[in-house]
């Protein structure tokens, strides 16, 4: 098997990939995650997942490289990483009582052969009606400033939801393992 690389510096994505019990390296990609003008969210995450894998290929020329990117969309507004408390509060306030759709793009690149396969995971999250005090308590505990949509479903963020609809709970954390296993199998990596 070729060496596996996760083109991400996210400790959460690394923890998820660790569930597969495969040896892998991690590297940040340095890719600008800004959307293009009028770019639909599914196109955005697929483009960025591939760009992250391609950026890592410069350092890892004979590897299987995993790229992943995620955005949340609520009421037609794309919610990326809020960056700070004020941004997170605004995002969570917008999502209160509403459905948010999470798009997670996934790319697997064989950097030696130049072969690329991509996939897309879509998950719907239904937020509880949340008041200002609840949002502040959540932000005091979690500080989700580097998370699309301003929450961590793997932590206290689960308390914000009334329901989740999706095929893979790992996708909400940023790495859809079910789809990744399918891609890895296509590249000859047998799991399990």
Choosing from 32, 42, 43, 69, the catalytic residue is 69
Tell me the β-bridge partners of 136.
none
Tell me the two tokens of residue 13. 């994505």
Determine contact, residues 127/162, Cβ cutoff 8 Å.
yes
| CA dist., res. 108 & res. 177, Å (int) | 12
Examine the residue annotation and report whether 42 is marked as an active-site residue of this protein.
no
**E strand or H helix that includes residue 183:** helix 177-186
Q: How far apart are CA 8 and CA 53, in angstroms?
A: 9
Instruction: Count each helix (H run) and each strand (E run) in the chain, helices first.
Output: 5, 7
Q: Residue 79: which of 125, 14, 30, 28 has the closest Cα?
A: 125
CB atoms within 10 A of CB 153: 21
Q: How many whole angstroms separate alpha carbon 167 and alpha carbon 154?
A: 16
Active site residues: 69
């Amino acid at each position: 098997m070729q060496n596996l690389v996760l083109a991400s510096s996210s400790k959460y994505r690394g923890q998820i990939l660790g569930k597969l019990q495969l040896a892998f390296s991690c590297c940040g990609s340095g890719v600008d995650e800004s959307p293009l003008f009028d770019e639909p969210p599914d196109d955005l995450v697929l483009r960025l997942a591939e760009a992250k894998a391609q950026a890592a290929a410069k350092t890892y020329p004979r590897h299987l490289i995993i790229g992943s990117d995620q955005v949340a969309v609520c009421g037609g507004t794309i919610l990326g990483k809020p960056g700070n408390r004020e941004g997170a509060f605004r995002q969570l306030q917008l999502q209160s009582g509403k459905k948010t759709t999470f798009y997670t793009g996934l790319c697997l690149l064989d950097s030696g052969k130049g072969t690329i396969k991509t996939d897309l995971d879509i998950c719907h999250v239904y937020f509880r009606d949340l008041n200002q005090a609840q949002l502040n308590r959540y932000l005091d505990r979690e500080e989700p400033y580097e998370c699309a949509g301003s929450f961590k479903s793997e932590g206290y963020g689960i308390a914000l939801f009334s329901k989740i609809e999706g095929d893979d709970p790992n996708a909400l954390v940023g790495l859809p393992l079910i789809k990744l296993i399918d891609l890895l199998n296509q590249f000859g990596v047998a799991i399990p």
